[in-house]
Structure 1
């Protein structure tokens, strides 16, 4: 299966994302793209929907300069990974994919930075391997059951409407590049976020992520989320940082308060004027907050 390459990115996007990248072939032959930058303690960063490793580019630079090794995969169907039309696009498979990458790289201990869907995926991995987790940074995300969902997402989750809207009209990734920030993205950064999702076929994972949100116990991924939520108990004694944008249209303060109930000892860094893409709106201040926490 052909896959996108970093060299295929538009020149202005390459300036924002200058990495060579690496490829890992999953057992079924599907190729996962990932960044492996720097040397030192490992920081595994997991993106959500509809982003990709591009979202972490500035944090990677900040941490590499500070002596960390940053591993940042693109989930299958996202970014520069393969975008198969027939694939097990499920929550459990996402966790399995990342776990196989960790094994492939021989990583025995790691820090974890997660955002959006990456939170549930990363906490799923951490729950399986709590002994390997050093520190956890949560960025506007959830990894527990909740029926709170924005109406605009609920509408495009419908099987009859969703594929047409998300894959045909780009009514998820496109609007997200505007709605997820308070300060508008530059043209090159916006292009970077959207470039992997330029057509119906390339938006297959964007739709399947939305489709896989397990709101009800009849959903195929509901049991997986139940397992992940229970696994949070194994992380209670870990150093945890919550870095939160107060203007998030999706993961609002309700989700932050739930995290604070689950992890009452967590360090909270609240940015009331930042949106869902906290690493974009928060800029250097947020990158340095995360670096400082990981360096302690």
Structure 2
């Protein structure tokens, strides 16, 4: 993965935390004594997703961007509990290791429920939130194209065999094809270059708790119940209006729960809203962080 092109797009120094013998990769950019901004990615992305935000924000803040286990440059163990609870525990371990407080939490996709899971367990550590297209509450029906990726056998062939999830996302999740050059597409899918390396991509889809008896359902219900405690926190919502998965119904639910949140909807942006609108996002984020 360490090609000259990727290094140009992703010019950051890697750090690893040992989690029971597995390497958990994260970026740690900016002054160590500056206020902390923690950015959590979703599926099937990795810390690469935030590459446009890291340089400008790290001039004034300490920016921490982990790769969830099985994603990006983190290890991809085959015998591992790739569950929401475990991903939250990994974030807990990292932020405890770094001894971070007064955190601005930036979340997207699965990073939303993982981040809110951390926040509801450690509310005193959170200063404010930045929310991109995501959810942290019980989901309605998900798109059929995602649902069909869930089964072990058929979904495994699609997601792990044909790389249908990560491979197609680079075409479907952005509404600006000019942004998704061949080099950028290669950067997104570089960590997911084999059956084994796509295990977390598949496990994330399988861990969507659609059924009442899904083992992750109680974890999500607990997180949803804890969201109300943050109604007085500063919250910035920046939303891609052409998201095929987290559409405007999800935006409306965030706004219902947090009516005082500052909201910006980018009508031309897709699910990868940071990819599509980072030039507009950066000044809004900088102003929010400095207020």
What's the counterpart of residue 197 of structure 1? Answer: 192
Instruction: Please give the secondary structure, in 2, of the residue aligned with 1:36.
Output: strand
After TM superposition, where is structure 1 displaced by more than 3 Å over at least 4 residues in a row? Answer: none
Unaligned runs of 5+ in 1: 1-7
Instruction: Please give the secondary structure, in 2, of the residue aligned with 1:161.
Output: helix
Give the aligned length: 287
Q: Tell me how far apart the structure 2 counterparts of residues 160 and 24 of structure 1 sit (CA, whole Å).
A: 33
Q: What is the CA distance between 1:159 and its match in structure 2?
A: 2.8
Instruction: Please give the secondary structure, in 2, of the residue aligned with 1:135.
Output: strand
Instruction: Please give the secondary structure, in 2, of the residue aligned with 1:122.
Output: helix
> Please, what is the CA RMSD of the aligned residues?
0.9
What's the counterpart of residue 36 of structure 1? Answer: 28
Q: Tell me how far apart the structure 1 counterparts of residues 25 and 113 of structure 2 sit (CA, whole Å).
A: 20
1:279 and 1:287 in contact (8 A); partners too: no
TM-score when scaled to structure 2? 0.97
Q: Tell me how far apart the structure 2 counterparts of residues 223 and 118 of structure 1 sit (CA, whole Å).
A: 18
What's the counterpart of residue 130 of structure 1? Answer: 123
1:120 and 1:225 in contact (8 A); partners too: yes
Instruction: Please give the secondary structure, in 2, of the residue aligned with 1:24.
Output: strand
Instruction: Please give the secondary structure, in 1, of the residue aligned with 2:129.
Output: strand
1:62 and 1:288 in contact (8 A); partners too: no
Instruction: Please give the secondary structure, in 2, of the residue aligned with 1:270.
Output: strand
What's the counterpart of residue 53 of structure 1? Answer: 47
Selected match of 2:227 from 212, 229, 232: 232
Q: Tell me how far apart the structure 2 counterparts of residues 124 and 231 of structure 1 sit (CA, whole Å).
A: 9
What's the counterpart of residue 221 of structure 1? Answer: 216
Q: What is the CA distance between 1:176 and its match in structure 2?
A: 0.4
Q: What is the CA distance between 1:236 and its match in structure 2?
A: 1.2
What's the counterpart of residue 282 of structure 1? Answer: 277
Deviations 1:159-192 (A, max 9, x none): 3311110000111000001100011201211111
Deviations 1:40-98 (A, max 9, x none): 11000000000000001110112012x11100000000000000001010000000000
2:36 and 2:101 in contact (8 A); partners too: no
Selected match of 1:148 from 123, 138, 141: 141
Q: Tell me how far apart the structure 1 counterparts of residues 52 and 273 of structure 2 sit (CA, whole Å).
A: 12
Q: Does 1:105 align with 2:98?
A: yes
Q: What is the CA distance between 1:283 and its match in structure 2?
A: 2.3
Selected match of 1:121 from 110, 114, 120: 114
Instruction: Please give the secondary structure, in 2, of the residue aligned with 1:58.
Output: coil
Instruction: Please give the secondary structure, in 2, of the residue aligned with 1:197.
Output: coil
TM-score when scaled to structure 1? 0.95
Deviations 1:103-129 (A, max 9, x none): 001112210000000000000101111
Q: Tell me how far apart the structure 1 counterparts of residues 106 and 141 of structure 2 sit (CA, whole Å).
A: 23
Q: Tell me how far apart the structure 1 counterparts of residues 100 and 263 of structure 2 sit (CA, whole Å).
A: 28
Q: What is the CA distance between 1:130 and its match in structure 2?
A: 1.2
Unaligned runs of 5+ in 2: none
Q: Tell me how far apart the structure 1 counterparts of residues 171 and 224 of structure 2 sit (CA, whole Å).
A: 31
195-204 or 102-111, larger mean C-alpha shift: 102-111
